[in-house]
Structure 1
Amino acid sequence: MTGMVLECFLADEAATARLGEDLAMALRAGDAVALKGDLGAGKSTLARALIRALADDANLEVPSPTFTLVQSYETRVPVHHFDLYRLSAPDELDELGLDDALTQGTALIEWPERAGDRLPANALWVDLAEHGEGRVARLSGQGPAYDRAARSLAMRDFLASAGWGKASRRHFVGDASARSYEIVSLPGEPPGVLMNSPRLVLGPPVRDGKPYAVIAHTAQSVAAFVAIDKALLANGVSVPVIHAQDLDQGFLLLEHLGSEGFLSGDGQPIAERYQAAAELLAMMHGKAWPERMEAAPGVFHDVPPFDRDAMLIEADLLVDWYVPWITGEAPSDALRAGYHKQWNAVLDRLAGSEYTLMLRDFHSPNIIWRAERSGLDRLGIVDVQDALIGPAAYDVASLAMDARVTVSPEIERRTVAAYVAARHAAGPFDEAAFAEAYAIMATQRNSKILGIFVRLEKRDGKPYYLKHLPRIRDYLRRALAHPALASLKEFYMAHGLLEERLP
């Protein structure tokens, strides 16, 4: 077996169970975990903890598959627990369905040495052996499964350095990036959120020798989140308190703001909550924000501008992905040139618009409703690392035309009206200029989202995003109704970009 090797000491049964949790947090469909060790080495303890963590059920019955040979569980990542002790020959693995198990989920394999050479080359091997009063776990392998497991163990070490080494870990949520989040629980403490934010991997150059993420100013390290979070907190915005941080590795231990969102039980937007969020934006937009923010002593984050290059490359996602999807062919050079000409003329109209700290994804998935609080403190804000200095209208459009839920024209109107009223109440406010910038930013954002949702299906294999496309087209039609966008609207209509399409 070649590849990387990692060893850790397990002082007792609880430590062995925590290793099972740590591995569970790292597993993805297609992973195989080969679990070695003599009788009594702790394989059952580790396997039981791993499966219970995937199921988020500390009391789940996990019988040994010694006699059934395989036991399957419908967990977050389906897990198939194999015990090959009674296997007569490696060929019997075909009858047990190992290949199918890896297609559907992950495989946890005890007595893997009986499989001969039938296990995947990229399997993660975990070898348990007694060591004094405890055990040593030796992890080895090569490829993504090993890398994720090693990072998960580093996260446990980070928790230990913060006094949370014995915390239980459960998957919370992942987002569209490589970031992921866990709920960590420790007796006597409120639950926390463990944020895993590896440094952004830049893609290939796409324009002027620069990757997309550089042009669009996507946050490249967790220092961006820390700096912006601290600045928001200092200015009265309810964002998570950071209990511990490791900027080099990209780990944060955060306050858990809660789980209640902006939608009713049947998934409908609650108008009053959207209005409250608009009033929070109005408060934020009345403040002066520095462009350089401190993440740690001597570590600063320079908040990038939402400049023309960033706006255009985002809008180009419509041409790059959505146009080929609706036409069945690559966009012509003439279409691209016309699109850029129209957009450059529109963006010229932003000259003189109000610019401020723009959170970029200010919409329902990133806003927590805390009914027990009062005033603006009822709103907990997460996912702030990609903030820019940009038009104040952008976040209002992001909220009032929520990409993940259908906001009716009436709720949109009430949300925008709440923002405008709060701005007027705070002092002089150019409502007409805001309305034009709102229409421009809503059009830019929804054009981008049409492209992103098609890309998620075509490139990333996530077809369930296509169901959102009719909503996004409706938002585009609303935004393009502003007189300042008449020429751009004509262009969209001439090329069928607003027509209803069946995914």
Structure 2
Amino acid sequence: MPGPDLRDISDPFQVLDLEDEAATVCLAEDLAAILSPGDLIALSGDLGAGKSTFARALLRTLADDEDLEVPSPTFTLVQTYDVGRFAVSHFDLYRLEEPEELEELGLDELLETGAALIEWPEQGGDLLLGGALWLRFEAGRDEDSRSVQFASDKADWLARLDRTLEIRQLLAQAGLGAGHRRHLTGDASTRSYERIISRDRTAVVMNWPAPQGDAGSEAALAYNRLVHRAPDARAFAAVGEELRRKGFAAPAVFASDLEAGLLVLEDLGSDGIVAGGAPIADRYRQAVLVLAEMHALRWPETVRLPDGSDYRVPVYSREALQTEADLYLDWYVKYATGMAASASAREEFHRLWQSAFDTIAGAQTGWVLRDYHSPNLIWREDRDGASRVGLIDYQDTVIGPVAYDVASLLLDARVDIPQALEKELYQAYVQARQSADPEFDEAGFSAAYAVMGAQRITKILGIFIRLAERDGKPAYLDHLPRMQSYLDRVLMHPVLSDLKLWYDGNRD
């Protein structure tokens, strides 16, 4: 189905005025932020209208290379760029003699794994695919300005365009309206992140849209509620504010639209606590000392947000802990043994875990950030004490056994932590707690560390199989040997002796 011909369009869904070339570059960055494999952007307009300026800026943004050579493909008709996350093909159909030649250029095949920009799309006639976002550039009020009209026969483009322009408006509120947008990362959730670069500072945008598709189904939302996963950005803002108030290095919020799930945050940097895939022992030591300092404090059950509303930190209930552990039954057992867990095996699994939770019922509780490990910790060399370790992922904070976060760090799911280093870091934590409180219960903490470590590893093993099999992300299987080794370590604790027998009988 052909896309709309903007030469005749009278009712575009969006019209923007661009006052100069810099505004055109900003628009290109805004579109680059939402471009995905399979997307097609058609650039229409007269010679000199700004199509090539837009295309060049978009490609340089995706490549994160301001000096990237982007020659006009007028004579080659198409030039493909590998810009990291996916390939983008730049077409110029000005010299196309017959629309049928478009098929020979392989547009359909290129869109299977990448995206495409097409200048002079009208030359493609009815062979140009539907679903494209069409931009028509026209002269503006003066020599430097332009007007851009947007249209598409695909409704999704309107929502995506509105979202990215809303981010640009929020950047303006933070004094970063002309900042350059660069993709930073995404995670296993619906959140994504960008780094914003201006002349005098940088910032990070957290983009947390409402879940769509399977992630937004009632079943998925009910599961998230059950295991106390944060439903929206209010949790991040509330927990971060309290962390900063107590002297920990959570990013400041420069601007936000919590209802929309958008925050402009302080950029804590890019340096981590890992180098060459191996832990940097001194940085891990500082990270575990931050936990010791955190766990010596009292943390509130409710936090007041800037808008005056309250956010209640959920309790890490037994039901949540068991439901997470059940991911092992639901996904990992069949992967490891070729057969689903039997009803008797499931019943015994539940009984043994409830018994393990009973043994640590008196363990110290407090705020548990839940993902306190290397991907979420930023090293700040120029800072001192707790502020040396930046915290960037804490929206799922709950009130539970504080040993959970210590196990999360010392049994890092993404990095091999040698057992000798684990023991050294464990002792550093215990000594710091004992120095602050001579009555610190090391025996009770040891039991809680083993139980919480085993629960987290059990959950993650199930999640990694689910990501590989259900979500088509087989790279997570590479982490299995590490997690299996960690599980063997923690199961050696006497408090888990009965569970060890169950695992030994249900993973081979």
Same fold (TM over 0.5): yes
Aligned to 2:34: 26
Q: CA deviation at 1:283?
A: 0.7
Q: CA deviation at 1:300?
A: 2.2
Q: CA deviation at 1:206?
A: 4.6
Normalised TM-score (structure 1): 0.94
Equivalent AA in structure 1 for residue 463 of structure 2: I
Q: Does 1:159 align with 2:171?
A: yes
Q: Does 1:457 align with 2:465?
A: no
Aligned to 2:188: 176
Determine if contact 1:199/1:222 at 8 Å carries over to the other structure. no
Q: CA deviation at 1:366?
A: 0.7
List aligned pairs for 1:24-423, cutoff 5 A.
24-76=32-84, 77-133=86-142, 134-141=145-152, 142-187=154-199, 189-201=200-212, 203-206=216-219, 211-264=222-275, 266-423=276-433
In structure 1, C-alpha distance between the alignment counterparts of 2:336 and 2:442, rounded to whole Å: 37
Equivalent AA in structure 2 for residue 459 of structure 1: R
Determine if contact 1:6/1:139 at 8 Å carries over to the other structure. yes
Q: CA deviation at 1:467?
A: 0.6
Normalised TM-score (structure 2): 0.93
Determine if contact 1:34/1:108 at 8 Å carries over to the other structure. yes
In structure 1, C-alpha distance between the alignment counterparts of 2:477 and 2:346, rounded to whole Å: 23
The 3-state SS of whatever aligns with 1:109 is strand
Determine if contact 1:27/1:145 at 8 Å carries over to the other structure. no
Residues 442 and 186 from structure 1, CA distance in 2 versus in 1: closer, same or farther, beyond 3 angstroms?
same
| Unmatched segments (≥5 aa) in structure 1 | none
Equivalent AA in structure 2 for residue 223 of structure 1: R
Aligned to 2:14: 6
In structure 2, C-alpha distance between the alignment counterparts of 1:295 and 1:180, rounded to whole Å: 23
Equivalent AA in structure 2 for residue 304 of structure 1: P
Moved more, 336-345 or 486-495: 336-345
The 3-state SS of whatever aligns with 1:184 is strand
Residues 89 and 317 from structure 1, CA distance in 2 versus in 1: closer, same or farther, beyond 3 angstroms?
farther
In structure 2, C-alpha distance between the alignment counterparts of 1:486 and 1:381, rounded to whole Å: 35
In structure 2, C-alpha distance between the alignment counterparts of 1:395 and 1:350, rounded to whole Å: 15
In structure 1, C-alpha distance between the alignment counterparts of 2:158 and 2:332, rounded to whole Å: 36
Residues 339 and 91 from structure 1, CA distance in 2 versus in 1: closer, same or farther, beyond 3 angstroms?
farther
In structure 2, C-alpha distance between the alignment counterparts of 1:120 and 1:456, rounded to whole Å: 32
Determine if contact 2:413/2:482 at 8 Å carries over to the other structure. yes
Q: CA deviation at 1:146?
A: 4.6
Equivalent AA in structure 2 for residue 282 of structure 1: A
Aligned to 2:500: 489
Spell out, residue by residue over 1:13-44, the C-alpha distance to the aligned partner (whole angstroms, 9 max, x if none): 11111101111111111211122222222101
In structure 2, C-alpha distance between the alignment counterparts of 1:405 and 1:361, rounded to whole Å: 14
Determine if contact 2:333/2:506 at 8 Å carries over to the other structure. no
| Unmatched segments (≥5 aa) in structure 2 | 5-10
In structure 2, C-alpha distance between the alignment counterparts of 1:222 and 1:91, rounded to whole Å: 49
Equivalent AA in structure 2 for residue 480 of structure 1: L
In structure 1, C-alpha distance between the alignment counterparts of 2:257 and 2:218, rounded to whole Å: 29
In structure 1, C-alpha distance between the alignment counterparts of 2:210 and 2:106, rounded to whole Å: 37
Residues 323 and 7 from structure 1, CA distance in 2 versus in 1: closer, same or farther, beyond 3 angstroms?
farther
Q: CA deviation at 1:403?
A: 0.2
**Number of aligned residues:** 493
Residues 85 and 271 from structure 1, CA distance in 2 versus in 1: closer, same or farther, beyond 3 angstroms?
same
The 3-state SS of whatever aligns with 1:132 is coil
Q: CA deviation at 1:295?
A: 2.3
Residues 112 and 237 from structure 1, CA distance in 2 versus in 1: closer, same or farther, beyond 3 angstroms?
same
In structure 2, C-alpha distance between the alignment counterparts of 1:27 and 1:413, rounded to whole Å: 46
Spell out, residue by residue over 1:115-155, the C-alpha distance to the aligned partner (whole angstroms, 9 max, x if none): 23334432222222223222222223325455333311111
Moved more, 22-31 or 132-141: 132-141
Q: Does 1:476 align with 2:487?
A: yes
Equivalent AA in structure 2 for residue 90 of structure 1: P
Equivalent AA in structure 1 for residue 241 of structure 2: K
Spell out, residue by residue over 1:195-232, the C-alpha distance to the aligned partner (whole angstroms, 9 max, x if none): 2122345544559xx62111111111111111111100
Residues 406 and 163 from structure 1, CA distance in 2 versus in 1: closer, same or farther, beyond 3 angstroms?
same
Moved more, 227-236 or 70-79: 70-79
In structure 2, C-alpha distance between the alignment counterparts of 1:491 and 1:119, rounded to whole Å: 59
The 3-state SS of whatever aligns with 2:305 is strand
Determine if contact 1:26/1:145 at 8 Å carries over to the other structure. no
In structure 1, C-alpha distance between the alignment counterparts of 2:442 and 2:15, rounded to whole Å: 62
In structure 1, C-alpha distance between the alignment counterparts of 2:487 and 2:129, rounded to whole Å: 48
